Amino acid sequence: MNIALIGYGKMGRIIERIASERGHQIALIIDENNRDEIGVDDLQEMDVAIDFSTPHAAIENIELCFEANLPLVVGTTGWYDHLEEIKEKCLQGNKTLLYGSNFSIGVNVFFHINKLLAKAMNPYKQYDVQVEEIHHTHKLDAPSGTAITIAEGIIDHIDEKSEWVNDLVGEGEEVVPKKHQLLIESHRIEEVPGTHTVLYSSEVDQIEFKHTAHSRSGFALGAVIAAEWLQGKEGFYAVTDMFDFNG
Ligand X SMILES: O=C(O)C1=N[C@H](C(=O)O)C[C@H](O)C1
One-letter identity of residue 82: H
Helix (H) or strand (E) holding 50: strand 48-51
Q: Which of residues 181-220 bind ligand NDP (CB under 6 A)?
A: 216, 219
Q: What are phi and psi of 70, to 5 degrees?
A: -105, 120
The verdict on 143 binding ligand NDP (CB under 6 A) reads: no
Is 138 catalytic? The answer is no
Instruction: In angstroms, give the least distance from the CB of 123 to ligand NDP.
Output: 33
CB-wise, 90 or 158, nearer to ligand NDP? Answer: 90
- Pairing verdict, β 163-168 and 181-188: parallel
Instruction: In angstroms, give the least distance from the CB of 144 to ligand X.
Output: 3
CB-wise, 43 or 183, nearer to ligand X? Answer: 183
The verdict on 144 binding ligand X (CB under 6 A) reads: yes
Site string for ligand X, 113-142 (x = CB under 6 A): ----------------------x---x---
The verdict on 166 binding ligand X (CB under 6 A) reads: no
Q: Which of 240, 216, 243, 237 is nearest to 16 (CA)?
A: 216
The verdict on 96 binding ligand X (CB under 6 A) reads: no
The distance between the two most distant Cα atoms of the chain, rounded to a whole number of Å, is 63
Is 214 catalytic? The answer is no
Q: Which of residues 17-56 bind ligand NDP (CB under 6 A)?
A: 30-32, 35, 52-55
Do the Cβ atoms of 245 and 109 come closer than 8 Å?
A: yes
Q: How many residues does the chain have?
A: 247
The site for ligand NDP, by CB under 6 A, has a size of 28
DSSP 199-241: EEE-SS-EEEEEEE-SSSHHHHHHHHHHHHHHTT--EEEEGGG
Within 8 A by CB and 6+ apart from 158, the residues are 118, 121, 122, 129, 182
The verdict on 106 binding ligand NDP (CB under 6 A) reads: no
Residues that bind ligand NDP (CB under 6 A): 6-12, 30-32, 35, 52-55, 57, 61, 75-78, 100-103, 141, 216, 219
Residues marked active site are found at 135, 139
Annotated binding site: 32, 35, 75-77, 100-103, 136, 145-146
Annotated binding site for NAD(+): 32, 75-77, 100-103
